[in-house]
Amino acid sequence: MQISCDYLIIGSGIAGLSCALEAAKHGQVVVATKRARDESNTKYAQGGIAAVLANDDTFGAHIADTLVAGAGLCHERVVELCVQGGPEAIAKLRGYGTRFDRTDAEADELDLHLEGGHTKRRIAHAGDATGREIERALVEAIAREPNIRVLEEHMAVDLITLAKYGGPEVCVGAYVLDIESRTVITILAHATILATGGAGKVYLYTTNPDVATGDGIAMAYRAGAEVGNMEFYQFHPTCLYHPDAKNFLISEALRGEGAILRLADGTPFMPKHHPLAELAPRDIVARAIDFEIKRTGDDCVYLDITHKPAAFVRERFPSIYNECLRYGIDITAQPIPIVPAAHYLCGGVSTDLEGRTTIPGLWAIGECAFTGLHGANRLGSNSLLEGVVFGHRTAEALKVVPKQASWPTVPDWDIGSAGTPDEAVVVTHNWDELRRLMWNYVGIVRSDKRLQRAARRIAMLQEEIAEYYWNYVLTRDLLELRNIATVAQLIVECASARHESRGLHYTIDYPNLDSQRARDIVIKRGVPARHLWR
Ligand code: FAD
Ligand code: SIN
């Protein structure tokens, strides 16, 4: 089956849906998304979205905070664009129907939070479940838009580039698996926009939901696009540690409100790691926790907010309070057991200031994109902001994309002689092995030896996956496994090329910052990781 549209947007988180709402003003949009339309990292965002809204705040201060966190690798023009676009992004989200918390019910003034790394209160939020509210409003807004068609349970498998069929290097759409009917359809588009989010599932422990398997990055890489800075994976310091909790985040906002990190015996440990203690940038906090867990041999450390009035905690953090209570932890009376977990990918598919990738016809926005905003470390609450700002910038740029009079001829997906898999255990085993080896060898603290070990094992797993891929019919699990293996390979290649410790990349073999290496690492299929001066 073949369908066509002006703009194919792959992914329905904040970036994809913000872009869709604006692009629908000048063309027909198809949004393909691999599960229910609201399932995304966006839905689970807690703390909020950063923007300069307070009287005592300035663009200069937000820019400076972002640059400090980014450890010398932020692209300053991108930082300026995002920070200056903050107030409009918030206004747009409110226009779509997002209800942010206000200082009081009568006032229009938003209630702003403080988070680690921010020198001012600038986090607009909806309780402690900001993403859920934003995603709700966006999903309702697209339902009112006749120019947008949403295909749920439709997973993009691969991009369609004409180069593959002897034509020019241009992307004209994607092959998409309809999960229910198990058929692969061809979607042709004048512009294809990747908005597929992050890749937390590449690690054993993550704050991300199951959809975060780096599909967009893997597809773009296979198609020949440039990918960059994959070594900078952000580990969130505080994920709930409980055998029954899969991936529940304990927001940074708790530390913003004074929560203290303690060892099992109650000793606070952050002051000895950084002068800002609990409010230090999150890479430093995550590394400090990792260090203390390894030093003490304990399974976790504790985040303690019991010194705050119980009513304040319940009112300020209702979702976190209730979720922890489900696991028998009353956070007003007991410290919360926590561990760090993979949270956010700063690298991704390289783009320009409008979201264009290095392949004509292909764009990337949101967490799957590498715009240069975050540098070597993302400042908390800047990613929702980036999703809206770049979603809108891309939609604006799409206006001038020519709408060709006829569609190119491309073959339908060839299922060849694929049979039904008889050993699903191969997929589950490889999933587990890959995520575990990434956690153990390519986690918060790295070394050359560990990276080499990881590279060897990933190559072996990829061989096995390829064999399975060509011999059996496609399933979501198999496609995701192939994609996380590609993302793992890209993280290891970039990490191996960075001979210094900077931002989120810390290696015991090169523990210091090297001022000569304040540059991005980019990588392309068939071309080894190389340093690119920006
Ligand atoms: P997502 O919201 O992840 O959306 C990606 C979409 O693509 C999904 O719909 C997914 O199903 C779809 N998709 C993926 N692959 C395919 C495919 N092959 N085919 C079709 N569809 C596909 N950031 C902040 O700024 N502030 C916060 O407070 C904050 N808190 C967070 C808390 C948690 C627990 C997590 C996990 C993240 C948090 N972040 C926060 C980060 C932020 O939520 C994400 O970076 C952001 O939401 C990413 O938006 P996105 O639109 O790029 O991707
Ligand atoms: C959090 O609420 O701690 C997450 C914020 C973020 O990831 O930006």
Contact 506, 287 (CB under 8 A): yes
Amino acid 474 reads L
Amino acid 299 reads D
Predicted confidence at residue 67, as pLDDT, reads 97
Amino acid 16 reads G
Return the structure tokens found at 478: 């198999």
> Which ligand 1 atom sits closest to the C-alpha of 219?
18
pLDDT in tens, 45-87: 999 999 999 999 999 999 999 999 999 999 999 999 999 999 9
Ligand 2 within 6 A of CB of 496: no
Residues with CB under 6 A from ligand 1: 10-16, 32-35, 39-42, 44-49, 130-131, 155-156, 195-198, 207-208, 211-212, 215, 249, 344, 366-367, 381-384, 387
Total number of residues shown for the chain: 534
pLDDT in tens, 152-198: 999 999 999 999 888 899 999 999 999 999 999 999 999 999 999 99
The closest residue, in CA terms, to atom 18 on ligand 1 is: 156
Contact 278, 237 (CB under 8 A): no
Ligand 2 within 6 A of CB of 253: yes
Ligand 2 centroid – CA 234 distance (Å): 11
Ligand 2 within 6 A of CB of 46: yes
Predicted confidence at residue 317, as pLDDT, reads 96
Predicted confidence at residue 411, as pLDDT, reads 93
Strand 29-32, strand 112-113: pairing: unpaired
* Ranges of the chain with pLDDT below 50: none
Name the residue of 236, 278, 279 to mutate for ligand 2: max ligand atoms within 8 A of Cβ: 236
Predicted confidence at residue 474, as pLDDT, reads 87
Q: Which residues are catalytic?
A: 282
Ligand 2 within 6 A of CB of 367: no
Give the single-character DSSP code of 308: S
pLDDT in tens, 365-412: 999 999 999 999 999 999 999 999 999 999 999 999 999 889 999 999
Q: What is the DSSP string of 400-466?
A: TS---SSPPP-PPP--TT-B--S-THHHHHHHHHHHHHHHHHSSSSB-HHHHHHHHHHHHHHHHHHH
Name the residue of 14, 40, 42, 46 to mutate for ligand 2: max ligand atoms within 8 A of Cβ: 46
Predicted confidence at residue 527, as pLDDT, reads 82
Give the span between the Cα atoms of 333 and 335, in whole angstroms. 7
Ligand 2 within 6 A of CB of 386: no
Which ligand places an atom closest to the C-alpha of 200?
A: 1
Ligand 2 centroid – CA 384 distance (Å): 10
List of domains in the chain: 2-231+346-400 (3.50.50.60), 240-340 (3.90.700.10), 425-513 (1.20.58.100)
Closest CA to 245 of 334, 127, 333, 329: 329
Give the span between the Cα atoms of 297 and 189, in whole angstroms. 54
The closest residue, in CA terms, to atom 43 on ligand 1 is: 42
Give the span between the Cα atoms of 312 and 301, in whole angstroms. 23
Name the residue of 44, 378, 381 to mutate for ligand 2: max ligand atoms within 8 A of Cβ: 381
Amino acid 50 reads A
Give the span between the Cα atoms of 87 and 84, in whole angstroms. 7
Give the span between the Cα atoms of 401 and 19, in whole angstroms. 15
Which ligand places an atom closest to the C-alpha of 257?
A: 2
Ligand 1 centroid – CA 41 distance (Å): 3
Three-class SS of residue 528? strand
Three-class SS of residue 75? coil
Give the span between the Cα atoms of 21 and 143, in whole angstroms. 10
